[in-house]
Structure 1
């Protein structure tokens, strides 16, 4: 797929749907199914380099602290592969979470998986999805055990601001 085709009806069209200002509700879970904190979230997704990439910037309070984050999102057309580089002030520490996942034609969802290291144990996974809809966007982050079990950790339910 070439870039012009992708912009019209491929992954870069999905990136274009993500662009804009967003506001809504953030939910944080430390254990599966147990909400630790909820609060407002605001953000903006801007297209970069003629629509080749999107940058997501957001701010949300977590408990008494404010959390900010950025994600750079793209799709490598040659391998049909979503790629995301994510950092935030709450989860990633001094690491950059690098994630990848296949672009599935006809599925308008960015779905990627990264890994992070824990002391004295095997790496864990971190799955991230961006699911646009009519005037809405749901961003989900899942913690994935070394055995492959996924549990929702963060969810942003957003509407166009």
Structure 2
């Protein structure tokens, strides 16, 4: 992921501190499913250590890994947008330590502080745009005929 989408680069210090005041430290062993597509998105994480693979269900095939996330990266963006259901799945690919956030608490803070809310929305929007591009590239790599994703 680009440095502009990690929490340390995306949020100004004051907003980052306000967000981090809401965090609780959690740990997950290798192979933990953090969430599944279509389920309720009521929390999100920022990776401290370890890696998390984002995957996409593909009917009749194994889930396609779209991207692997590491230190400082946001795991989950669906919590920010209605209907608050996961658009991807996520599984730890190593032991993970992370900061966990309650989605409703963060949304409430965003609603009560327009400047903070805008900063979070821009950050999450950048993450969504990046993940959409990553998904497109990965799915072309996996399923398109050779050369179909190249631009002339």
TM range (shorter): under 0.3
TM superposition score normalised by structure 1? 0.24
Higher helix share: 2
Higher strand share: 1
TM superposition score normalised by structure 2? 0.25
